[in-house]
Chain A
């Protein structure tokens, strides 16, 4: 109880579904009441706790009540039964730039929006530069926001909301906005807030991002709480039991069993010495360091790497290779020998995996376990890869 940032206690929320949406007094008087409506239970006796400092996901299909839940936590909607207590300053990213006045300048709107989100004038003054800096629209800050592009609008809105410095941050699928660069910036900022020990509550359909971000997840269906718990467990349950899909098909790891833990990757040159920045065309060895908790017979090691802009360059695993390693408890490593590193100069991110011998159940998976740069060399290439060929003339 004491370490709960948000306590949701037997919360019920009813919506009215009007048969005839008639907001007229005459109709109400004639009928003796306002309008016929059915009550619809958007949330039915939902209880859970969100511990302080964790990232919490609310998932479920459309109409499951997850957004309603978030709005109730944000106090935008009032519950019809039960209570929600939140400890700490709360900021909700439900719609970015809500409350911007089109005729006012960006500067005036920052002050207005900050005040709506609960900041004092002094606090906004102190953060003003950070807000403008984050939004990246310095030169337009004194123009009326109605002249902003939708991207600029949203960026300014996000910048204000994120700089409220909330102890609890509520996010409702607003992150799919702006260009890729800005999205990365938002993701980084949220990750930073999470590291600072703030509580984050996310509502999303994008299960891969929920599974990457959240520690714990609550699954809602038709207003009922189906399950809460560690993110992998609940997402796994949701996918297999409710949606009946194989998580791997949509790029979500199945729950890892965790007998072996991947610690890191080292890139070695032909001489066995570390080569943190190899040159294109060099022979290299990728050494995967791990620590095993228990004995595992013939695990399958895998890796893939992506270029800086997220394109999958290549991937492979040890299934069907000569690697027949039985891992004993304690630290160890496996090597992947690469005769020639034929990828274009640039930055790459390596994802590493360990599966069981049938390559069905993950033991450990780490996205972005290692990042490295490939330096330009005598071998020139266009695109992201090279054939390593040499030009020759038969004279």
Chain B
């Protein structure tokens, strides 16, 4: 609880650090903030070409929205995924990058992680806004579902923050963490139904005579639940199941608690080790 109070007390610093993050991100680039939209645009184009056109992945028909469009189907999951992926990879580095600050000034160090996540959250919200506009143009009346999306964004932010706290501190002591995450990220990406519908995942998978309940295992992955929930709310225009929301919330809160706990333990010698 004292941690929560600390965040509240130093919210001005958090705001300032987020602003630093945002202001410095596109300094000295001509296109500036346009980049934050060009990057997801390029990945959407690639996945659309490869999976939508070449491999002919058939998106499910949104129920009740009746939407049947691969790009929209992709956008609703890819944009949240990007926030997760960028959030984790960048927050891991947040302490090492700011080593000079950690060695010379005292302030709650978790704010460095939080501000990195915060900065990306701002970009994510802008992208999400663009996606919502596109959905509206395509005839998806997403406006009533915005509160659900906001809840999902909040839970996802906590999740990213938790992982960030956990891994950023560990990365100070073992610089392998970053490389490990770079390795694991594509695995997570392809094991989460972002570029394909979950219905293409077989219920059971027979490996050397053993039947593996693949779909069930998928269901344990909070990212799968998260992506599904985003799609429910934005693509299909229906309420995600309460068990899904509860499951995501459980993971989000659990990750933050564990992350903060580990961070507090590792914080001890941060200034010497970083």
Which A residues form the contact surface with B (CB < 8 A)? 15-16, 23-26, 28, 34, 71, 74-78, 92, 94-95, 98-99, 101, 103-104, 108, 111-112, 115-118, 120-121, 144
Contacts and interface: CB of A to CB of B under 8 A. Distances in A.
B57 interface: no
Contacts of B15: 115
Interface string B9-39: 0001101110110011001100000000000
Interface of B: 12-13, 15-17, 19-20, 23-24, 27-28, 100-107, 173-177, 180, 267-269, 271-272
A26 B175 CA distance: 11
Contact of B20 (A104, A117, A120, A144): A104
B101 A116 contact: yes
A312 to B, nearest CB: 37
A94 B102 CA distance: 12
A108 B20 CA distance: 8
A94 B16 contact: no
Nearest to B100: A98
Contacts, number: 82
B126 to A, nearest CB: 21
A95 B271 contact: no
B105 A115 contact: no
Contacts of A111: 16
Given A103-B28, A111-B16, A112-B16, A24 B105 contact: no
Contacts of A25: 174, 176-177, 180
6 contacts: A16-B272, A92-B105, A103-B23, A115-B13, A116-B13, A116-B101
A98 B105 contact: yes
A154 to B, nearest CB: 13
Contact of B174 (A24, A104, A108): A24
A116 B174 contact: no
Interface centre among B16, B28, B105 (most CB of A within 10 A): B105
Contacts of A26: 176
A251 B269 CA distance: 40
Given A24-B175, A112-B20, A94 B272 contact: no
A120 B16 CA distance: 10
B12 to A, nearest CB: 5
A209 to B, nearest CB: 22
Nearest to B25: A103
A78 B12 contact: no
A23 B272 CA distance: 13
B242 to A, nearest CB: 39
B20 A78 contact: no
Given A26-B176, A115-B13, A99 B105 contact: yes
B105 A104 contact: no
A71 B271 contact: yes
Contacts of B19: 108, 112
B24 A103 contact: yes
Interface centre among B173, B174, B177, B267 (most CB of A within 10 A): B174
Contact of A76 (B16, B177, B271): B271
B7 to A, nearest CB: 14
Contact of A103 (B27, B104, B105, B107): B27
Given A23-B173, A24-B174, A108-B23, A117 B272 contact: no
A95 B104 contact: yes
Contacts of A95: 100, 104
A112 B17 contact: yes
B12 A121 contact: yes
Nearest to B175: A23
A388 B27 CA distance: 65
Nearest to A42: B272
A234 to B, nearest CB: 27
Contacts of B27: 103-104, 144
Given A76-B105, A116-B13, A101 B272 contact: no
Contacts of A144: 27
Contacts of A94: 104-105
Contacts of A112: 16-17, 19-20
Nearest to A120: B12
A98 B104 CA distance: 6
Contacts of B105: 76, 92, 94, 98-99, 116-117
Given A94-B104, A116-B105, A15 B176 contact: no
A369 to B, nearest CB: 39
Nearest to B24: A103
B174 A75 contact: no
